[in-house]
Structures are given as structure tokens and as C-alpha cells.
Structure 1
Amino acid sequence: MKTKYFMPVLFLFLSALLVCCTEEFVGQPSTDSTSPGTISVVKVESTPGGANIIYKAPSDPDLLYVKAYYELNGKMQNTSASLYTDTLKIVGFGNTDPQTIQVCCVDRSGNEGKAVPVDIKPLTPVVEQVFETIHMVTASGGIQLTWENKVRESVAIVIYASDNNGYLTEADVVYTSVPKGKYTLRGFDDKERTFAVKIRDRWGNNSEIKEGKFTPYFEEEIPKENGKGAMKRYWLPFDNPTNISWTNFEFWNMFDGITVGENMFHTNYGPPQSPVYFTIDLGCLVKLGRYKLWYRQNTGWGHHNPRKWRLYATADPKPSQDAHPSDEEEYWNKDANGVPPGKFATDTALGWYKVGDFEAEKPSLNGGSPQDDNDVMLSGLEFEVDPNLPPVRYIRFELVITWGGATDNVHISEWGFWGKIIK
């Protein structure tokens, strides 16, 4: 019995072993070894840092794609285009030097055809375009940068600041693709130091370094004292009341440090009053440098969150109050033509100054993403103040329009002010 079944069992074992040791082919088997034809270049369109090669593909029935390969910053790069298009996009060059791109066809058997050399001459790369537009100015606690990126390519803006020994060290990196950008680097004292900036792209190309000496404006956050304290409401004629009895949307909510949820100040619903005014007493005389405003988050970039507004300021409103009755509309509210603001806004003789016209910039309206919108809303809208503004204590807000289109109602979650306290 044992002898009878030994050979079949041995045969099955050896067969299984043979199968296990056999390498199985994975993928589409080769159908031929014939190389595909070559492309015919129709035209070359130069682009920033590259080019678009427009071609006519050969009529090979098994053509799979067209491939380009070239040297970029010391390394070989390749890109491809499917058989359903007629354009190869070449990118990544950091200068305008002429380049030669090798282009070949690849068929479904993996055969590569003869490479066709294509000469291109890139336009000015994005790192250089952005670098030429970047501008640095002194800001509260640091410097402010502005730039343009018309082609909206992703770049990194690398910012440097000199340390206590005078050496430039990397202070921050801003990643951006918006067509017009602005960023403020803060956290520095009011001593002269060197700041510098360069532009870098994802292929490792770098612009030159632009540097300059700046003395940041001194700044400290103006204390709020948790609402009902240092910062408080100051009543001026035609200021909008807050008497929404079924809410707790009180004025001091704007100074309690809470920027989330429904914690906010909400002006009166009626009777309609346009424009909306209210006045903030900072609690001390301040050389104002900047301020931040936080939206009511549950309504985002909409409803009664302000889109455009104006600010006026004075060190002391009493001289104008003594000189102008509270019912004098042309002075406190609208001029003789019924156009806001009243004449107080330009009454420098009695100590009033216009801080500025301000508009909230929604990132997605300027090439940004919905996530950018949310990030800005959560972090607060920040605005610089003209350094030539005299020291002030009282800030009068005038609404121009909200994101919902209203001119007679506004809600704000929080304010923050920075500058130098005089007394």
C-alpha cells in the first residue's frame, strides 16, 4: 500500500514546488518590438519658467503617450502627455536661458521612439516676477510686505531678520499663490535691524535677496480689562443704541477676549438708522499702530458682519461737544446734502482725525480658497494705522455696508488695539 501511493504523492509535491518557483508575469504582455514614430512640432509657446510644446502625434495605432525629458537644476526631469492631448507643459526653470527638451513617443508595448530635440526659451520665472514686486515697509512691531503674483503660481516668501549679533536668520516663511498679497512680520522691539526677503519655488529656484534696515514701531496691546473696564462705550450724538431686550449682545462683549460663538455686540434693529455710529473709549491716550476686528462666526462672511467702514479718532471729544449741540445733524451725522459723515469727521481744529476707510478682504475673492476665508475669519481682520496719526483715545466707528448689504445694522464679536500708551 505504501509503495502504491508513494510516486503520485511525490509527483504532486514536485509539481507544486515547480509552480511556486515559477515567476508569474504581471501586466500587459509585449505585443511588438517596433518603436513608435516621432512627433511633429506645431509651435512652442513660452511661459514663465517653461514652455508649452504643441505637437502633432504620429499615427501609430498603439501610441500610449508622449514624453519629454530635460535637465533641471542638475537633475533629470520628465513629464508626459496622454494621447488625448496635443500639448506638453514644461515647467520649473529659474531663468530665461534657452533650453533643449527631448521629446519622444511611447507605445503600449513600452517601446520608446526616437527623441526629437525641441528648443524653448522660458519667460521670466515666477520667483523673479514676484521678487520684482515685493515691497517692505515699517510696521507695528516689525515690517509689512506686499507683493503681486499675476500668474498665481505657488511660491514661498522667505523672510529674514538680523539677530542680536547682526546675523540674518530665517524669521518666517509665507506660502502663497494669491495675485495680490500682504503679510506683516511682528514680534520685534523698536530698534533698528536688518530685514530681508527672497522668493523660492517648488523646484528649488531662488530669487536674489532684498534687504533693508527698518526700525519697527513700538507696540503693546491696549488693555481691555475683560469688558466693562478700561475700554468702554462713550456716547456721542447719533450713536446707535443697543436695546435688543431678548439678547445679551452688549457693547462690552467686544472687549472681553471672546471671539467664538454668539458672543458679540449687536446694534439696535430699529428704527432704521444709517449710517451706524458708535464710539469706543480706549481708556488711555494711545499712539495707535494697528487694530484687529473679529466677526460673529456663525454668520461668517455674511449677514451684518461689516464689509466696509470708516474710523475717526480724537484725544478729547468734549471741545466739539461743547461747540455743537447733540441735535446738530450736519455736524454729528450727515452733512447738508444728507451724505455721511457729519462735519466732525474733518474738524481738525477741534481735534478730530480720520483714521481711514477700511474694507475686509475676503481671500476667496482674491484667488484664495474657502479654507483661507475661514482661517482669516478665525484669526481676525488686521489693519495698520497711519503712523502720522496723533495720539488718540476715542474711536468713532461708521458703518458703510455689511456683507449682507445692510447700512443700518452691524454686529462685531471683538476688537483689539495695539500701539504705544502715552498716558
Structure 2
Amino acid sequence: MNSIKYLSMNRHHILVLLLGLFLWSSCKEKNMLLYTDDNAPAPKPVSNVQFIRTPGGSKLYYKVPADNNLLYVKAVYDISQGVTRETKTSIHQDTLVLEGYADTLEHEVKVYTVGKNKKESDPVTLKIRPLTAPVHNLFKTIEMKETFGGASITFQNKDEAALAIVMIYDSTGQGDWAEADTYHSKAPKGAFSVRGFDTIPVKFATYVRDRWNNKSDTLALTLKPLFETKLDRTLMKEVSLPTDENIGHVFSGLSPRNINFMFNNVFGTGSTNDCFHTRPAAAKMPQWFTFDLGQQYNLSRFKFYHRGGSSGYYRGADPKRFEIYGSNSPNADGSWDSWTLLGTFTSFKPSGDAATPTKEDEEFAVTNGEDFDFPPGTPPMRYLRWKTTETWGNSQYIYIAELMFWGAKL
């Protein structure tokens, strides 16, 4: 009984304490509201304003005035005719970042201090001249050429700005332009392709766009896509050789996630467990597996569909670096003597290696599948061996949702 009484008293004291804290907080809040003086003059302006030119903008540095009424500092500027931007920062900062310019002309910027009563200081006016905008820097590096079934683009993005590379094509040959694809990236370099075109000349064009709708010039080329056909996935099957890591992992009450799951045409965001998944218990790296294409082909390219879901793409056991070998008569002992290296590949993440995966990453890797080209002159092969050397999450096992291959049958 004593212990019950003691507990009840403690609860009573806690309730009193919480009520007191609530009342104190309410009073403090009221005092803060009362502190705003509508009759107070506008704060003094910033002083000693300097700037550093940046691609598509500038960084402003200044001294904040000592004023108890000061709430924030803002810059007002036009990035183009009729388009005004406003950038704000707190009184605890001494920097304002201006961005969104598409040219390198001289632009006027006005910097204000703003009081808690919303009164603004007189502006400090300065002239800035941005460096070349990221849309133009990236555009200068674009290389576009024909590839199997379409056209490919490579680029460098030295500013690591979030940009969209838009690919369009003349859909009728009469100047009726249609979008082929839009590729989003802030990575320092990248490549992508548009596919599904016949082997007749097509006029392709590309330009770069940023989030302020600034656009680069347009590069237009007439290209003739190379012939290819999609390989018949129903002919593809596992080849089990000594040293291969090909036994499927069992989890969540499902059947073993073996190699055949890579060739069942099931992939995407809603199929997170429909994948080839090697066993964590048999973890090792590098590891490899072998499969039969069903017949001999001149290979042009392949798509690697990453596993979807929160534990899938660009994390965990998702392959990051891998090699593909080919053979027409593999040694039965699983040795490497009968295998030829066809290519060394690195998976690409549009948002950059360090960033948390984005929706654009998911669309690129899980929904659309990541494209890889075999090098020109790749010899005809029937059997392939995939060797993973590194995963995105440094796991010692792997998972792959789907593999698709293109080429020409001999």
C-alpha cells in the first residue's frame, strides 16, 4: 500500500511540474510577441558587402548590423527579363547565395535587412557578373553518336549542378519534334541512350535545362542507329559450374531466389523480392555465376534492372562494379581458362555516389533499367559469366532483378 501511495504522489508532482512548464512557456511566448515593436525604425543596412562570382550566380558576404529588431537579410534580383528572385538568410549568417542566371552580363542586386516588424532598410545596391552558367558548361561537353537501336550521349558536369539533359527527335522527318527522353543528373559525368529506333537516318537533338528553366543551345545531328534485336529470354538458363555462387537465398517464406528469376520478365518497383539473390551465409567477394543465352550472338548491349524497394537499388548487395566474360565452350571444372573478358562495368547513380537515392535514381535503375554497351568488336558468344567485384553497400552477396540482352543472331 505504501508503494502505491508513493507512486500516486509522484504522478501528482509530475502533473504539477508539467503544468508549470506549460504556463512558463506560454508566458515566454507572449513576451516574445510583445517584444515586436511596430514603432521601431527599420534596421540599419548591411555593410562591407563583397561578392565572389560563381557559375550562374554569386556569393555575397557582408557585415550584419547590431540591431535587436533585426530578423533576416534578403537579396532581390532579376535573373532574366521579368523574372525576379528573392533570397533570404538569418541574422546568424553573413552570406547570401544568388543563383539562376543564364548569362554572364552585369546584373543589379539589392540587399535589405528586415526587422521583426517587417520594416525594410534602405537597399545596398551592387553590380555582379556571374560566371558561365552550369547549363552552358555541361552543354559544351556533350558528345552524341549513333548506338545500337538509337543514339547515345556522354557529358561532363564539372559544376555538379542538378540539370536535365533533354533528347528530342524529328518524328516525321518534317520538323515535328518529339521528346525521346529527359535525363536528370547532378553527377560530375554521365552517359545515357535512347533506344527503339529503326536502322534508318534519324535527326536527333539535345539541350540542357536547369530548374529555373534556363536552356542551353541545341545540338542536332542526323544519325543512323545500329541494328540489334532483343534476345529471347525464354532460351536463357542457369549453367552450374564449380566455384560459381549460384544457389538462391531463401527468405520471407519464399522459394530460393535463383538465377531463373533474372529471366522471367518481372521487375520494377512492385517486384522487390522477384530477383536473383545469392546467399548471405555463403558471403564472399568477388563472386560469379554463369548462364546460357541459348545460342550464339554478336552482343551489342544489355540492361541491368536493379532490385526495387528500400533495401534494393544503390545500397546493400546491389552490384556496383562487375565484369562480364564470354565463352562458347566453358570448362566443366569451373576454371577461367576458357573465358574471355568482354567488358568491365561500373553502375552509375544519377544523383551522385554520396547522395541518398532519389526518385530519379529509382526510375533510372529500377523502372527503366540501367543500359550498358559491349565494346565494339566483341566476339560472338553463347555463355556468359557475371563476376561482381563490389556492391553499393559493400555487402558480400548480390541481388539482381532482371537482365536483358540485345544483339544479332549468327
TM over 0.5: yes
Q: How many Å separate the matches in 2 of 1:269 and 1:125?
A: 47
Work out whether residues 179 and 367 of structure 1, in 8 Å CA contact, stay in contact via their aligned partners in 2: no
Q: How many Å separate the matches in 2 of 1:241 and 1:119?
A: 64
Q: 1:115 to 1:355 in 2, by over 3 A?
A: same
Once the two structures are TM-superposed, the CA of residue 56 in structure 1 deviates from its matched residue by 1.8
Deviations along 1:80-108, one digit per CA (max 9) or x if unpaired, are 33333222222221111122212233334
1:396 aligns with 2:388: no
Once the two structures are TM-superposed, the CA of residue 51 in structure 1 deviates from its matched residue by 1.1
Mean CA deviation greater in 47-56 or 96-105: 96-105
Partner residue, 2:376: 387
Partner residue, 2:237: 232
Once the two structures are TM-superposed, the CA of residue 241 in structure 1 deviates from its matched residue by 7.4
Q: How many Å separate the matches in 1 of 2:249 and 2:357?
A: 35
Partner residue, 2:46: 39
Q: Figure out how many residues of one structure are paired with residues of the other and give that number.
A: 365
1:54 aligns with 2:61: yes
Partner residue, 1:291: 302
Work out whether residues 158 and 174 of structure 1, in 8 Å CA contact, stay in contact via their aligned partners in 2: yes
Partner residue, 2:168: 160
From 113, 136, 139, the counterpart of 2:144: 136
Partner residue, 2:216: 207
Partner residue, 1:88: 96
Work out whether residues 180 and 366 of structure 1, in 8 Å CA contact, stay in contact via their aligned partners in 2: no
Work out whether residues 193 and 371 of structure 2, in 8 Å CA contact, stay in contact via their aligned partners in 1: no
Work out whether residues 161 and 186 of structure 2, in 8 Å CA contact, stay in contact via their aligned partners in 1: yes
Work out whether residues 308 and 362 of structure 2, in 8 Å CA contact, stay in contact via their aligned partners in 1: no
1:369 aligns with 2:356: yes
Q: 1:92 to 1:402 in 2, by over 3 A?
A: closer
Amino acid in structure 2 at the alignment position of 1:421: K
Deviations along 1:264-286, one digit per CA (max 9) or x if unpaired, are 44668999998645433222332
1:308 aligns with 2:321: yes
Partner residue, 1:70: 77
Q: How many Å separate the matches in 2 of 1:101 and 1:308?
A: 47
Partner residue, 1:24: none
Q: Could you say what secondary structure the match of 1:395 adopts?
A: strand
Work out whether residues 137 and 144 of structure 1, in 8 Å CA contact, stay in contact via their aligned partners in 2: yes
Q: 1:106 to 1:278 in 2, by over 3 A?
A: closer
Once the two structures are TM-superposed, the CA of residue 242 in structure 1 deviates from its matched residue by 5.3
Identity of counterpart residues, as a percentage? 31
Deviations along 1:247-276, one digit per CA (max 9) or x if unpaired, are 544443332223435444466899999864
Mean CA deviation greater in 370-379 or 133-142: 370-379
Larger radius of gyration: 1
Partner residue, 1:176: 185
Amino acid in structure 2 at the alignment position of 1:354: L
Q: 1:34 to 1:419 in 2, by over 3 A?
A: same
Q: 1:157 to 1:59 in 2, by over 3 A?
A: same
Q: How many Å separate the matches in 1 of 2:94 and 2:147?
A: 50
Q: 1:275 to 1:155 in 2, by over 3 A?
A: closer
Once the two structures are TM-superposed, the CA of residue 60 in structure 1 deviates from its matched residue by 4.0
Q: How many Å separate the matches in 2 of 1:292 and 1:95?
A: 39
Q: Could you say what secondary structure the match of 2:198 adopts?
A: coil
Q: How many Å separate the matches in 2 of 1:393 and 1:145?
A: 29
Work out whether residues 185 and 350 of structure 2, in 8 Å CA contact, stay in contact via their aligned partners in 1: no
Q: 1:71 to 1:134 in 2, by over 3 A?
A: same
Work out whether residues 152 and 178 of structure 1, in 8 Å CA contact, stay in contact via their aligned partners in 2: yes
Q: How many Å separate the matches in 2 of 1:404 and 1:88?
A: 36
User: How does the TM-score come out when normalised to structure 2?
Assistant: 0.75
Q: 1:234 to 1:45 in 2, by over 3 A?
A: same
Once the two structures are TM-superposed, the CA of residue 386 in structure 1 deviates from its matched residue by 1.7
Q: How many Å separate the matches in 1 of 2:388 and 2:46?
A: 63
Q: 1:163 to 1:124 in 2, by over 3 A?
A: same
Partner residue, 1:420: 408
Amino acid in structure 1 at the alignment position of 2:377: N
Amino acid in structure 1 at the alignment position of 2:225: P
Matches within 5 A, 1:347-362: 353-362=340-349
Once the two structures are TM-superposed, the CA of residue 406 in structure 1 deviates from its matched residue by 7.0
Q: What is the aligned-residue RMSD (CA, Å)?
A: 3.6
Q: How many Å separate the matches in 1 of 2:393 and 2:282?
A: 18
Mean CA deviation greater in 86-95 or 366-375: 366-375
Once the two structures are TM-superposed, the CA of residue 206 in structure 1 deviates from its matched residue by 1.5
Work out whether residues 186 and 351 of structure 2, in 8 Å CA contact, stay in contact via their aligned partners in 1: no
Deviations along 1:268-313, one digit per CA (max 9) or x if unpaired, are 8999998645433222332222112345557525665544332122
Mean CA deviation greater in 410-419 or 283-292: 410-419
Partner residue, 1:17: none
Amino acid in structure 1 at the alignment position of 2:374: V
Once the two structures are TM-superposed, the CA of residue 171 in structure 1 deviates from its matched residue by 2.6
Matches within 5 A, 1:405-416: 412-416=400-404
Q: How many Å separate the matches in 2 of 1:395 and 1:297?
A: 24
Q: 1:239 to 1:202 in 2, by over 3 A?
A: same
Work out whether residues 323 and 344 of structure 2, in 8 Å CA contact, stay in contact via their aligned partners in 1: yes
Q: How many Å separate the matches in 1 of 2:122 and 2:376?
A: 66
Amino acid in structure 1 at the alignment position of 2:80: N
Q: Which runs of 5+ in 2 are unaligned?
A: 1-33
Q: Could you say what secondary structure the match of 1:133 adopts?
A: coil
